[in-house]
Amino acid sequence: MKPNTQQLIDLTTQVRRDILRMVHAVNSGHPGGSLGCAEFLVALYQEVMERKEAFDMNGLNEDIFFLSNGHISPVFYSVLARSGYFPVSELASFRKINTRLQGHPTTHDHLPGIRMASGSLGQGLSVALGAAQAKKLNGDKHLVYVLLGDGELQEGQNWEALMYAAAKKVDNVIATVDLNGKQIDGSTDEVLNMGSIRAKFEAFGWDVLEIEKGNDMEQVVEGMKQAKLRTGNGKPVGILLHTEMGNGVDFMMNTHAWHGKAPNDAQLEQALTQNPETLGDY
């Protein structure tokens, strides 16, 4: 039985606690974007994707997901663990020597749920398109999802992939862009203004929808379900997900400063107070 909206919100709160505690423990990692994408990944794995309980790399006859902006691994690891892919207790090994939970996801340690090494930005969409075409060749009607950062779109490979997807009518892929307007050196407009992302996607031949409140669980779930309904119509589908970097922690919001900085002891306590425990810490 799928969780109701309140259960999804409660899980999101717990995921935020996981993120904060993981990066604090090793004084390393990327909390800002992770916190901002918590609703999206919880909704994806708990409500939207049709997935099997047992993980295998082939991903046949199930929906699959690729994380392109791999630096937000804390939220990805937390959601995978809380979705049953590996023990929640393993989150305590984040970024430690010989862990399966590296700072950027890797495949050589065979961590369940990880389908590509990511963190070298700009590559995830290309991989997702290959997987989507493989599904078509295999007669598999399921979907491929991929998440990209808005700053990541400054990488040129994305635009080759966007062009390819439309030209080859890869209509079983849903690419979501985390539009928080911030990257490690400042706002995306200041670093490299890309103009209207929607206009660009549509000019490249994509079917695009926007989720204006990407940190509102009901809007996220409804928007993603609408995206599913648009697949199979000859166009790749894009979601522009408007989020707030650092969402859920007041002093991490409205700034790019927490893109890649861990909280100290006092800051962790303050942040956890804003996100009460719901399911039990690891």
pLDDT tens, residue by residue, 243-254: 999 999 999 999
Q: Is 280 left (phi over 0), alpha (psi -120 to 50) or beta?
A: left
CATH superfamily of 5-273: Thiamin diphosphate (ThDP)-binding fold, Pyr/PP domains (3.40.50.970)
- How far apart are alpha carbons 266 and 252 in whole angstroms? 14
CA-based nearest residue to 155, from 189, 121, 194 = 121
CB 73 within 8 A of CB 102: yes
Instruction: Compute the C-alpha angle 144/148/152, nearest 5°.
Output: 145
pLDDT of residue 2: 85
Does the predicted model carry a pTM greater than 0.85? yes
pLDDT in tens, 249-276: 999 999 999 999 999 999 999 999 999 9
| 76 confidence band (pLDDT: 50, 70, 90) | very high
The single-letter DSSP state of residue 4 is: -
Q: Hey, where are the domains in the chain?
A: 5-273
Look up residue 214 and give its two tokens: 């990407």
pLDDT tens-digit profile of 4-57? 999 999 999 999 999 999 999 999 999 999 999 999 999 999 999 999 989 999
Q: Give pLDDT, residue 176.
A: 98
Q: What's residue 242's pLDDT?
A: 98
Non-local (6+) Cβ contacts of 10 within 8 A are 278, 279
Tell which residue, 160, 242, 155, 170, has the closest CA to residue 207. 170
Q: Which pLDDT band holds residue 100 (cuts at 50, 70, 90)?
A: very high
The confidence score (pLDDT) of residue 41 equals 98
* Closest alpha carbon to 6 in 217, 215, 223: 217
Contacts of 226 (CB under 8 A, 6+ apart): 209
Confidence grade of residue 93 (pLDDT, cut at 50, 70, 90): very high
**pLDDT value for 29:** 97
The Cα 274–Cα 237 span in angstroms is 35
pLDDT at position 119, please?
83
User: Helix-strand-coil percent breakdown of the chain, rounded to 5?
Assistant: 45, 10, 45
Both tokens assigned to 96: 């430690």
Q: What is the pLDDT of residue 212?
A: 98
Spell out the residues 6+ positions from residue 173 whose beta carbon is closer than 8 angstroms to its own: 128, 129, 132, 143, 144, 145, 146, 165, 231, 236, 237
pLDDT tens-place string over residues 144-166: 999 999 999 999 999 999 999 99
Residue 104: pLDDT band by 50, 70, 90 thresholds?
very high
The candidate with the shortest Cα–Cα distance to 83, out of 51, 131, 37, is: 51
Per-residue pLDDT at 1 exceeds 80: no
